[in-house]
């Protein structure tokens, strides 16, 4: 049985197997606390360990913790963050209150990377290709990320990219909240409350990210909801009648009628130094009509990115369907806790990490 050690991390008590040692804290927020950890004797790269903050305070928190574990367990792709290890400390009175998740460690997010480095044309293409591969995998599972932005895309110094943070991810369905995603990267069908939305919302976000990689600036930096609408319309122009006809909310239709006509701006003028192929792909991502917007699979095959395609990528980007029936369940905290305990007990680390864990335990 694994022995556990206690360490103070930013005035919080952490309890984890003594085969790990903490390198340094990395950050914290409402989602949890994260630290860089080292697996002793495992001859492994450092990993990221996250302690969930008060996962059982409310039913919503417990369900969210269960959702995060389920999604991370499901993901198995080089461009998507996945679960390496999950555990809870020894029970106290037949109960547990803490949950820890171990994932791949990334150097920084794409926002910081793009602001602190001069990104070459090749790097833009390579980063974008990896984002789209990860997204093609996520979408193939039937999952919408719903919050793609530079801060939720991690990158290493070797240019390895992984999509992070599935806190808002859901299976595509007919009943989903429109108030999702960071407003700067939110698709027009969400902003104008237009019918039901699809995984096309993620592709709009990728188009915004591409524009940001090219220019170094946020494309639609609204400082509030209505300012976001204004910034979008000032660049993308007035929506077509086809787009407007899909808006069921009267106040959204009234807003567009009162706003007045706007011409769409020309991307070559906005991005004079950009590769024309990059702008062509961006145009297809930033298509106002979601049904006409390019998919992740189509974008990967665009001439701007085609050079990176390898024959095995398509098979690697195909994920098994994700079962999300639990989303309709309303349960008390103790029931969610039992489900989480079951997921932890039945988790099997990836083979390479399972071997590293075994070596570490044997050396203790």
The 10s digit of each residue's pLDDT in 216-250 is 999 999 988 889 999 999 999 999 988 888 888 88
Q: What is the pLDDT of residue 170?
A: 66
Confidence (pLDDT) at 304: 97
**pLDDT, position 167:** 72
Separation between Cα atoms, residue 350 and residue 358, nearest integer Å: 12
174 backbone dihedrals φ, ψ, rounded to 5°: -85, -10
pLDDT at 249: 82
**338 vs 168, residue with greater confidence:** 338
In the prediction, which pLDDT does 312 show? 95
Q: Does the structure show a pLDDT above 60 at 196?
A: yes
Contacts 24+ apart (CB under 8 A), 84-91: 84/47, 84/349, 84/350, 84/353, 85/47, 85/347, 85/349, 85/353, 85/357, 86/343, 86/344, 86/347, 87/16, 87/17, 87/344, 88/341, 88/344, 89/4, 89/15, 89/16, 90/4, 90/15
Residue 118 has pLDDT above 90, yes or no: no
Q: Are 329 and 60 in contact (CB under 8 A)?
A: no
CB 280 within 8 A of CB 304: yes
Report the share of the chain in percent with pLDDT over 90.
65
Q: Which domains are assigned to the chain?
A: 4-105+331-362 (3.30.200.20), 108-316 (1.10.510.10)
User: For 274-294, what is the mean pLDDT?
Assistant: 97
- Cβ atoms of 10 and 356 closer than 8 Å: no
Backbone angles phi, psi at 259, to 5 degrees: -70, -30
Q: How far is CA 116 from the centre of its chain?
A: 21
With 70 as the cut, is the pLDDT of residue 176 above it?
Answer: no
**Active site members:** 147
**Which helix H or strand E contains 212, and what residues bound it?**
helix 200-215
Length of the chain: 364
- As a whole number of Å, the end-to-end CA separation of the chain is 11
Most confident of 59-68, 83-92, 160-169, 293-302: 293-302
Q: What is the mean pLDDT of residues 163-190?
A: 70
């Amino acid at each position: 049985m694994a022995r556990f050690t206690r360490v103070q991390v930013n005035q919080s008590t952490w309890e984890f197997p003594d085969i790990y040692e903490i390198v340094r804290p990395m950050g914290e927020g409402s989602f949890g606390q994260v630290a860089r950890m080292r697996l002793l004797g495992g001859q492994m790269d450092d990993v990221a360990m996250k302690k969930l903050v008060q996962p059982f305070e409310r039913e919503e928190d417990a369900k969210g913790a269960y959702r995060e574990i389920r999604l991370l367990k499901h993901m198995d792709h080089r461009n998507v963050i996945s679960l390496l290890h999950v555990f809870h400390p020894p029970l106290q009175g037949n109960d547990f209150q803490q949950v820890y998740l171990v994932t791949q460690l990334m150097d920084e997010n794409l926002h910081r990377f793009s602001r602190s480095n001069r990104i070459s044309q090749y790097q833009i293409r390579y980063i974008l290709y990896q984002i789209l591969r990860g997204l093609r995998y996520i979408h193939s599972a039937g999952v919408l990320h719903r919050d793609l932005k530079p801060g939720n895309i991690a990158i290493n110094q070797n240019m390895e990219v992984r999509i992070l943070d599935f806190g808002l991810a859901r299976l595509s369905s007919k009943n989903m909240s429109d108030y999702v995603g960071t407003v700067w990267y939110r698709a027009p069908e969400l902003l104008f409350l237009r019918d039901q939305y699809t995984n096309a919302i993620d592709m709009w976000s990728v188009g915004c990210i591409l524009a940001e990689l090219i220019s170094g600036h946020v494309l639609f930096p609204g400082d509030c909801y209505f300012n976001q609408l204004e910034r979008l319309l000032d660049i993308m122009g007035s929506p077509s009648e086809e787009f407007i006809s899909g808006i069921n909310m009267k106040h959204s239709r009234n807003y567009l009628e009162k706003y007045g006509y706007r011409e769409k701006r020309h991307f070559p003028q906005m991005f004079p130094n950009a590769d024309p192929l990059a702008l062509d792909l961006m145009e297809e991502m930033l298509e106002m009509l979601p049904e006409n917007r390019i998919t992740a699979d189509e974008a990967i095959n665009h001439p701007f990115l085609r050079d990176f395609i390898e024959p095995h990528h398509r098979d690697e980007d195909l994920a098994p369907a994700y079962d999300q029936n639990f989303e309709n369940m309303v349960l008390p905290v103790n029931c969610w806790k039992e489900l989480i305990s079951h997921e932890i007990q039945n988790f099997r680390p990836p083979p390479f990490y399972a071997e590293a864990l075994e070596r570490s335990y044997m050396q203790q």
